[in-house]
Amino acid sequence: MSKEWPLWEVFIRGQHGLNHRHVGSLHAPDAEMAIMNARDVYTRRNEGVSIWVVPSAQITASSPSDKGPLFEPSNSKVYRHPTFFDIPEEVGHM
């Protein structure tokens, strides 16, 4: 019986110098075909200037059930946000 083409995750960088962004996934036999398919599936309207493809099996994801403990350290550090500090108006823009 035939084997299903593996799954790839597709990342595209748009026109304006932003990061590559995950746009979806697709099936392809190899990396070269994954890029070609990604062009046809995800950039039919000039959405990108660069494509990355990664075998989906190679992605390691954080576990949804660990969401609490994993992100807790940043939750408890409000002083990382500039608005934590009151700066008098006389000081001017900072």
Partner 1 sequence: MYAQLVKSEGTKTREEMTPEELAFQERIDRGEKIEPKEWMPEGYRKTLIRQIGQHAHSEIVGQLPEGNWITRAPTLERKAILLAKVQDEAGHGLYLYSAAETLGVSRDELMELLHAGKMKYSSIFNYPTLTWADMGAVGWLVDGAAIMNQVPLQRTSYGPYSRAMIRICKEESFHQRQGYAIMMKMAQGTPAQKRMAQDALNRLWYPALMMFGPSDKDSVHSAQSMAWKIKMNTNDELRQKFVDQTVPQAEYLGLTVPDPNLKWNEEKGGYDFSEPDWSEFYDVLAGNGPCNKDRLGARVKAWEDGAWFREGLMAHAEKAAARRAQAAE
Binding site for partner 1 (CB under 8 A): 2-5, 7, 24-27, 29-30, 33, 40-41, 44-45, 61, 63-65
Smallest separation, CB 24 to partner 1 (Å): 6
Distance (Å, rounded) from C-alpha 55 to C-alpha 27?
Answer: 9
Half-sphere exposure of residue 34, counting CA atoms within 13 Å on the CB side?
A: 22
Smallest Cα–Cα separation from 28: which of 13, 20, 16, 40? 40
Cα angle 84, 88, 90 (rounded to 5 degrees) comes to 150
Whichever of 40 and 90 has its CB closer to partner 1, that residue is: 40
Distance (Å, rounded) from C-alpha 87 to C-alpha 16?
Answer: 34
Smallest separation, CB 47 to partner 1 (Å): 10
Whichever of 7 and 54 has its CB closer to partner 1, that residue is: 7
Smallest separation, CB 77 to partner 1 (Å): 24
Smallest separation, CB 53 to partner 1 (Å): 13
Whichever of 29 and 72 has its CB closer to partner 1, that residue is: 29
